[in-house]
């Protein structure tokens, strides 16, 4: 019985925990300044500060003042969020760069798609948005309305841009240049 009571005592938070609203109002400027220093971007620091306090509120029941003051705990949350943001940004940038490369993947992608070399080379001359449009409409046979929804453009823009991209592709395939 005593072991169970002891275990519950170490798990349950102490009764002298400050109110979250008090901690938030006392620490928000410190967390923002930390994030501003860390990111060097006021807008990003502001967004990450909001995310920090949102997460802190969700995790407030687990905060134990016996393990440390609120500021280091909040800064730890802020730092993790900032690092997560930069990791996600690096992955997004890498994806965009890969998508923008004409055919720098030594032909493996085109081969995997079963495209002939001349078509793969011609597709490589199109811009990344044009290649995406051709992939959706021609290769994957997605209808115009769905393609417009996926790309966030109007159906008429899909049709116009596809017509232009296919024209460039046709000229390239016929040997008329890009």
Sequential DSSP letters for 9-27: HHHSPPTTPPPHHHHHHHH
pLDDT at 175: 75
Tens of pLDDT, residue by residue, the chain (178 residues): 344 343 434 444 456 789 999 999 999 999 999 999 999 999 999 999 999 999 999 999 999 999 889 999 999 999 999 999 999 999 888 888 877 665 554 455 555 566 777 777 788 788 888 888 988 888 888 899 998 888 889 999 999 999 999 998 888 888 755 4
Q: Identify whether 26 is part of a domain.
A: yes
pLDDT at 110: 54
Domain boundary among 49, 69, 99: 99
**CA separation for the pair 94, 104 (Å, rounded):** 14
Task: Please state the length of the chain.
Answer: 178
Number of compact structural domains in the chain? 2
Domain boundary among 35, 66, 99: 99
Contact at 8 Å (CB) between 139 and 145? Answer: no
Q: Identify whether 3 is part of a domain.
A: no
- Domain holding 65, by residue range, is 19-99
Q: Identify whether 5 is part of a domain.
A: no
In the DSSP assignment, the letter for residue 101 is: S
Residue 81: phi and psi, rounded to 5, are: -65, -40
Residue 4 burial (CB count, 10 A): 8
Contact at 8 Å (CB) between 57 and 20? Answer: yes
115/153 same-domain check? yes
Place of tokens 């060097």: 40
Contact at 8 Å (CB) between 57 and 74? Answer: no
Domain boundary among 62, 83, 99: 99
Strand spans (E) along 4-125: none
**CA separation for the pair 126, 44 (Å, rounded):** 34
Q: Identify whether 9 is part of a domain.
A: no
CATH number of the CATH domain containing 140: 1.10.10.10
CATH number of the CATH domain containing 72: 1.10.1740.10
In the DSSP assignment, the letter for residue 146 is: H
82/149 same-domain check? no
State both tokens at 93.
């940038």
């Amino acid at each position: 019985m005593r072991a169970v009571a002891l275990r519950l005592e170490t798990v349950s938070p102490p009764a002298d925990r400050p109110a979250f609203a008090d901690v938030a109002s006392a620490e928000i400027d410190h967390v923002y300044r930390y994030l501003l220093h860390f990111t060097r971007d006021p807008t990003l620091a502001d967004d990450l500060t909001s995310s920090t306090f949102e997460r802190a509120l969700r995790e407030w029941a687990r905060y134990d003042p016996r393990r440390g003051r609120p500021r280091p705990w909040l800064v730890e949350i802020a730092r993790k969020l900032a690092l997560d943001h930069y990791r996600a940004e690096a992955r997004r940038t890498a994806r965009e760069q890969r998508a923008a490369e004409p055919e720098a993947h030594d032909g493996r992608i085109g081969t995997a798609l079963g495209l002939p070399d001349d078509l793969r080379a011609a597709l490589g001359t199109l811009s990344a948005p044009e290649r995406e449009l051709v992939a959706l409409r021609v290769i994957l046979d997605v209808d115009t309305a769905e393609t417009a929804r996926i790309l966030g453009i109007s159906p008429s823009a899909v049709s116009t841009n596809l017509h232009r991209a296919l024209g460039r592709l046709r000229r390239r395939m016929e040997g008329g240049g890009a």
